[in-house]
Amino acid sequence: DAGVIQSPRHEVTEMGQEVTLRCKPISGHDYLFWYRQTMMRGLELLIYFNNNVPIDDSGMPEDRFSAKMPNASFSTLKIQPSEPRDSAVYFCASQLAGAYEQYFGPGTRLTVT
């Protein structure tokens, strides 16, 4: 299995632009998680899905952030408009229902100038 796939690996954009991060979970996994990692706050859960349905989005920082999962093999995290404080590494992870292991993708490093 290829593991969790994220794209792009690096994104540099200007303040005010729309940014879309993409994730393909491990095939057959029922849960998908989006995390953000910064030096100041560490790793934070933003939102997670179960069977493509958002379950908990309480970690999404503002209305500028939105996430979708149109099917079992694809999810997006969108920031519109982006701000410099959104600069971070964004991780996607997936997990099989009933299992205990959560597998992470390589992350997308976002820089907003």
Partner 1 sequence: GEDVEQSLFLSVREGDSSVINCTYTDSSSTYLYWYKQEPGAGLQLLTYIFSNMDMKQDQRLTVLLNKKDKHLSLRIADTQTGDSAIYFCAESDSGGGADGLTFGKGTHLIIQP
Q: Could you tell me which residues come within 8 angstroms of residue 43 by beta carbon, excluding any fewer than 6 positions away?
A: 35, 36, 37, 91
| 108/49 Cα distance (integer angstroms) | 19
Shortest Cβ distance from residue 42 to partner 1 (Å)?
A: 4
* Number of residues engaging partner 1 in binding (CB under 8 A): 27
- Tell me which of 36, 67, 88, 95 binds partner 1, using CB under 8 A: 95
Amino acid, res. 85:
R
What residues numbered 43-82 form the site for partner 1, per CB under 8 A? 43, 45, 48, 50, 56, 59
104 binds partner 1 (CB under 8 A): yes
